[in-house]
Structures are given as C-alpha cells and as structure tokens.
Structure 1
C-alpha cells in the first residue's frame, strides 16, 4: 500500500511538473512581446519568435529579431548574435549620418545592409544645442506626423519594400533589423512584418508599446542629461514624447495607411509590392505550428 502511494505521489508530481512546463511554454509561445534578448550593449533587442498569428501558428524562434543600435557590442554580444541566434542578415534603418557617427560592430559571416528610412541623410545627427532648438520648435503632434511620414513618403516606402525583399530571400538563420532606439523606424517595420504574417493588431500594439519597458532607463538618463542643459518645458515635454512609444503614434500610421490604401492588406500589396504568393511564402518561411 505504501509503495502504491509512493508511486501515485511520484506520478502526481510528474504530472504537475509536466503541466506546469506546458503552461509556461504555451505562455511563451503566445506572448505578444516575443523574447527579450539580453545583450550588454543594447536595451531593446527582442526575438519575435513565439508570437501567435490569427491562424494559430507561431513565429519561428530566432528568425526575426528587432533591436536598437549595435555600435557598442561586446565580444560576448557578438558571439551570442553569431553563434546562438545565428544572425545572418542585418538591416540598418538609420540615416547615413547616424551610421557614420556610430557604425554597427562587425559580425563575421553576417551581411549588413543599409536601408535608411528617412530621406534626410543627417536625420538624427545634431549637437545638444541643435537638438534643444529642434525640440523647441516641434508641435505636440510631431510624433504622430512622423509616424505618418514613415508609411507614406516614397523614400520610407522604398526602404520597407526592400526590407521585405530581404525577408523573402532568407530561408534560414536570423534577420536582425534596427534603428537607433529600436522603437520608431523599427516599430513601423515590425508592424508591417507582423501584419504580413497575420498577427492581430492588438498583439502588434502590445509588442510596439513594450519598448517603453526596455528603454525606460535610457529615456530617464537622457531626460536627466537634457535638464542639465535646459529647463525649457516645451523642450523637455517634446523630448519625452520623442522617447516614448504611444498607441497614438502607431495608430497615426495605421490611419495614414487606411486613408491611402483602405486596409493593411491592400497597403502591403500596393505599397510593399507583396503578392498573394509573397505573403504565402513569408508565412511559410517565418511561421510554424
């Protein structure tokens, strides 16, 4: 009898552990945030693997990685990206000026491609005095307007269209795409990629807003540094707006897309030049059950 109880006890514990692990794994698979990747030199690097599409499939692990700038990668960071995450292609959305001032660290065996989203070659390049002057002149809705530009101006559309060409070619390994903070230009890229894979808008929004969590320390540090140079309330308010991820910003991009194309589906077809076969191929390459 005691032996039977012991066996039953072990069985129950094993079942509990198995159920627990299944619940954890299921939670990870359906997480709208994907998985945060811990690197010494970045704050907002995330694997989109595990995010669930409307059809029940999930994005494959280590295939699509969003990030902030890679200019300060440590030796261990490089090893992790190359060997563990198997990153084969990097898409850099920054301007020529940003790249010149802070070029990505070299990853052996990885192709780095420059796809500047903004037409201004010196976008994001300024001295502190210039930045203060720039922030002082911005309107409260500046970020909404910025997001609308990223999905409507020809230069930006061309950059994101080229991004999809790389995604369609990459049959294995990881594609890492990034800008400076991994929030705005990378946020729009993620919205377009996830939309093409059939990810719900609510999930896309949660993934976008997660940048606030990962960039919190960076944002707070930059705000403190700016206060050492100015106490102008408009400057500080606009700095906070520019360093935040807000639903209103991404919704402004959605609104511009709807106004231009009627729907995300038509936008992907007319502006990103993705055919029905391209969409099917993307889902075959980046989704699994």
Structure 2
C-alpha cells in the first residue's frame, strides 16, 4: 500500500501554504489508494514548542484530515540518528568543521541552491592532530559530509519523480548533490540535521511517495546521496506548486504569515481554504 507523510515542524503556527501541502498529500494518498502518516519534525529543541504541536493537530483536524497513531516525533529518535551518523563516520565521510557563518560567508565564492554561501571546504584540510586538539578544547563544531568522497562511493545518482501531477507517469531524474558542497549533518549537542533525519525516518516508516513543495526539489539531491550511502530505499518524489502571497513570496512562519487559526477566527471554512489554494 502506498504510504505518504506530512511532516511539519512545531516552531510556529501552520499557514495556508502548509494547508495546501497537507491537502495535496492527503488528496494524493486517496488517488493512490494509500495512507498518510503524520510526523512531527521537532529536532530544534529550542524553537519547537508543545503548544505548536497541539495547534498542528487542531488545524489538520479542522481541515478534515486524519492519520494513523502513534505519531512519530523526531525528538524521540536522536539515538537512531546518531547511529546513522556513526555509520557515515565509520566510512570516513564525516569531518568536524569549526568555521562560523561569518567565516564561511567571507571565504565562499559560490552559493548553494538555496542561495546561501557555499562552504569552501576549509576544515576538510585540517590535519588529524588539529581536529583532535580543537575537539578536546571544546570549540564550537559541526560535522559535515565530505561530498567528494561520498560521490566517489556512489557514482552517478538518480531518483524517480512523478509530475507535474501525482497521476502522471514516473520519470527518472539525475541528482546533483555536488552543488550543495559539504553539507552539515550533525552539530554538537544535536546528532542530526533535517537531511539526515528525513531519510532515516522515511525508510523507517516505509514511505513510498514523498510530496513536497518545489522549494524542496533541490534538497532531494542530498537525500538521494544519503539513501545510497546508508543503504536505504528511495521513495518516489512529487513536487507541488507553492502558494504565494500578494507580494509573490511563499508564505513563511519567519515572516509571520497569517495562520490557519487566524483564518478560522475570521470565519473561514475548510472549503474556503481549498478554494483559496485552487483545490
């Protein structure tokens, strides 16, 4: 049976862009004769709050959506993500990086697909002794994937996309993870990044289809290389359109976009939401 997932982060209230993504995912599951699992991506302990988790449940139930229990919380799975990171470390594919964001911005000559400064690989060239000394000293550290070494192991990578609608025929696409450089997979005190956790959880939950916004299309490159390195299956991917505000920008928690709770308070119904997003 097809298995899909909706995986919000409880670091703010859901907005109409989240509603479109959720409704699209449940609609896709109905078309495929499958089910949708709810996953709470709460690895950011400082920003994720229990009240936002409850608000997510309330908003999704208001939209008429339901899901099997229990719900997976990523904060309960740090040991599992750490083990995945240890497997990559045993392959000599992770290295400690001590660079600050300011240092990276000053040294970078390119940008990654998200527009952020592309890490130039500074700490990849540190000697073993320098790494040990700085780790023992307790310097702020994050652990990066040596992308060049990783791709030497995997070779050419592909993934399967369904689009532009979920009913279309699958097509093979080439992944280009090299354009992301040496991505961060772990930080001191946090044994995972979004990228590492999502591939581990998709495999654990036997997800067969991933529906996500087009803004996440490029990140699939990273997920494909991690799936190959860790021996995990790769789901089928469908990238849906984004819902934009009056200024042509996607809705975002960081810009305090109007929430579903705000719309509900103004008298909106779930049917109003569907009409507003073109479903």
By percentage of residues, which structure has more strand? 2
TM-score for the superposition, normalised by structure 2: 0.31
TM-score by length of 1: 0.30
